[in-house]
Amino acid sequence: MPTGAGKSLCYQIPALCRAGVGIIVSPLIALMQDQVAALNELGIRAAAINSNIDPRAVAETKAAIRNGTIDLVYVAPERLLMDEFLALLDASPIALFAIDEAHCVSQWGHDFRPHYIGLSLLAERYPNIPRIALTATADAPTRRDIVEKLGLHGSPQFISGFDRPNIHYRIEERHSAQQQITQFIRESHAGQAGIVYCLSRKGVEDMCAHLVSEGFTALPYHAGLPADVRQQNQQRFLRDEAIVMVATIAFGMGIDKPDVRFVIHANIPKNIEAYYQETGRAGRDGLPSEALMLYGMKDVVLQRNFIEEGDAPDMQKRIEHEKLGALLGLCETAGCRRQILLRYFGDDSAPCGNCDCCDTPPATFDGSIAAQKALSCVYRTGQRFGVQYLINVLLGKVDSRMEQFGHTKVSTFGIGTEYGIHEWQGIFRQLVALNYLTSAGEHGGLKLTPEGATFLKERPTLPLRHITHRKGKARKHKESLAKELGVAYDSDAAPELFNALKSLRLQLAKAQNLPPYVIFHDKTLRELAVRQPSTPEDLMQVSGVGERKAERYGAFFLQAIAEYNASQAA
């Protein structure tokens, strides 16, 4: 089930209906506290047990498990598998076991956690207690692995559509990451919360400094920062509004902030699963959100080197190369991005009308001759030079190195003047993505692959994407998208009232040290600003307002709405 589709309800409701306590296994210690806080806000008895929790509170929770006086307990797999904890479970009424982020059990998945393997014990030790495994990101081999490793043979499998219709996908060539990202946030997402993923710590630091210098509230997050700084930045991201988190992929797993309006990749991610999981952090509240990926050929060469230099067995390396190839197919497609994403996970769909390729279909051209020129230029110069050098040879731009190597005399010298530098870069990038060219080792040199050599011999036709600076201006209007998704959008609501309700929410949240969305989601505030309820009964009709929240916060919000109406009447 995709992120934000309600996976947790699948175990929370059964755990409440059944006698005993539901045990939720999750790898995300840092985030258990917020999940528990959100449940407590709803009036549900829940707690977490992990190394960050004070021993006295742990002892209380353990007593509550034994007595069956708690509904849900979150625990990390390491803790669950301790003898002492298993002995406690043996002696307690257990409603069910839920294994969250179940793809962590699979080595084929992209986030393998060795402790998850140990969870096979649950099937053997508690054969009569129901078990459920959940994930937002698993291709077919990973799903098979989950069944296998967690002893779920013969269990029903529920696979919902993977589509996240409120996310707009956009993938662009990278010219200047800093400039493109600044412009994207300023034009479309000023004053909103989002995540910018960079490949390295240094990339994070540089991008963050740039965004701060441009006037955004940006915070860094990567493994090189002290744990308390990381924790503090994560807390600020969750609790304040309009923070741009600039991070390596160390950030974000299990981040349950519903109003992340954009996720940007400054470099290509590892594969489609990783991309889908990372972009899935946008728009959990169902409101229109955007995913932007910038990519360049350097990324591709770098990712290929990562795979080659890793110490995975050859079989696994081959799988990773294939996965990277699928991602590059997504980048270079002239068709609908969403169709490619969904097909990857086994879903089919029509062109979506909510991605850059649907907005402005990219033109293609017959690139056969261009590809032949580029590939033979690689061959003629000895299969060890980088793109810039190769392009200079094709354009006949002599430098001293070229004279020294005698490359002004090769047959491909100066035969590519029909294209400019930028176009040749695009052609080379597509040839790398097609796996006709690959890294020749260090220094970004390129060599032919067997497929590239076959292409040169057989010379088939080859459609390539036109290389132009596309602007993506024709994006679907956010309001019409909001209407299609059945959600209220800014313009429907009285903006002043919406802002007043937002600051009331922030005030209530700060007073209790809670993230604002734990009180009400943006979606609920929008609906409040549109419907403007005046009685507790009306208030309860608004989605996201339950009995407990109406009791606790209703009076504050009704008063704010009444004050707004009085000020309008005056």
Residues that bind Zn ion (CB under 5 A): 336, 338, 352, 355, 358
Smallest gap from residue 165 Cβ to Zn ion (A): 11
Question: How far apart are the C-alpha atoms of 29 and 51, rounded to whole Å?
Answer: 8
DSSP structure string for 71-124: SEEEE-HHHHTSHHHHHHHHTS-EEEEEESSGGGG-SSSSS--HHHHTTHHHHH
Q: Which is nearer to Zn ion, 246 or 481 (CB)?
A: 481
Q: Which is nearer to Zn ion, 355 or 440 (CB)?
A: 355
Q: Which is nearer to Zn ion, 47 or 355 (CB)?
A: 355
Q: Which is nearer to Zn ion, 5 or 355 (CB)?
A: 355
DSSP structure string for 389-420: HHHHHHHT---HHHHHHTGGGSTTTT--TTS-
Per-residue tokens: 414: 């100066």
Question: How far apart are the C-alpha atoms of 268 and 199, rounded to whole Å?
Answer: 8
Smallest gap from residue 351 Cβ to Zn ion (A): 5
Q: Which of 422, 329, 437, 325 is nearest to 374 (CA)?
A: 437
Q: Which is nearer to Zn ion, 79 or 475 (CB)?
A: 475
Whether 258 and 284 have beta carbons less than 8 Å apart is answered as: yes
Q: Which is nearer to Zn ion, 288 or 445 (CB)?
A: 288
Q: Which is nearer to Zn ion, 36 or 352 (CB)?
A: 352
Smallest gap from residue 473 Cβ to Zn ion (A): 16
Smallest gap from residue 183 Cβ to Zn ion (A): 22
> Collapsing DSSP states into helix, strand and coil, what is residue 188?
helix
Q: Which is nearer to Zn ion, 169 or 419 (CB)?
A: 169
Q: In this structure, is the dihedral angle defined by the CA atoms of residues 341, 343, 347 and 350, taken in order, positive or negative?
A: positive
Smallest gap from residue 324 Cβ to Zn ion (A): 22
Looking at residue 407, its amino acid is H
Per-residue tokens: 321: 């190369």
For the beta carbon of residue 407, count every other beta carbon within 10 angstroms.
22
Q: Which is nearer to Zn ion, 357 or 482 (CB)?
A: 357
Q: Which of 82, 81, 61 is nearest to 70 (CA)?
A: 61
Smallest gap from residue 357 Cβ to Zn ion (A): 6
Cα R_g (the chain), whole angstroms: 27
Per-residue tokens: 500: 């007043």
Smallest gap from residue 339 Cβ to Zn ion (A): 6
Q: Which is nearer to Zn ion, 25 or 171 (CB)?
A: 171
Smallest gap from residue 161 Cβ to Zn ion (A): 15
Q: In this structure, is the dihedral angle defined by the CA atoms of residues 170, 172, 174 and 178, taken in order, positive or negative?
A: negative
In sequence order, which residues have a C-beta less than 8 Å from that of residue 250 and are 6 or more positions away?
221, 222, 223
Q: Which is nearer to Zn ion, 275 or 455 (CB)?
A: 275
Q: Which is nearer to Zn ion, 355 or 387 (CB)?
A: 355
Q: Which is nearer to Zn ion, 79 or 168 (CB)?
A: 168
- What burial class does residue 272 get, using C-beta atoms within 10 Å of its C-beta: 0-12 exposed, 13-18 middle, 19+ buried? buried
In sequence order, which residues have a C-beta less than 8 Å from that of residue 7 and are 6 or more positions away?
1, 100, 134, 136
Q: Where are the alpha helices (DSSP H) in 240-360?
A: 272-279, 297-309, 314-332, 337-344, 356-359
Smallest gap from residue 329 Cβ to Zn ion (A): 15
Q: Which is nearer to Zn ion, 150 or 336 (CB)?
A: 336
Smallest gap from residue 5 Cβ to Zn ion (A): 20
For the beta carbon of residue 156, count every other beta carbon within 10 angstroms.
5
* DSSP conformational letter for 348: -
Question: How far apart are the C-alpha atoms of 551 and 544, rounded to whole Å?
Answer: 13
Question: How far apart are the C-alpha atoms of 339 and 330, rounded to whole Å?
Answer: 10
Whether 50 and 32 have beta carbons less than 8 Å apart is answered as: yes
Task: Give bridge partners of residue 23 from the DSSP assignment.
Answer: 73, 97
Smallest gap from residue 28 Cβ to Zn ion (A): 32
Smallest gap from residue 397 Cβ to Zn ion (A): 39
Smallest gap from residue 341 Cβ to Zn ion (A): 9
Smallest gap from residue 340 Cβ to Zn ion (A): 9
Whether 254 and 202 have beta carbons less than 8 Å apart is answered as: no
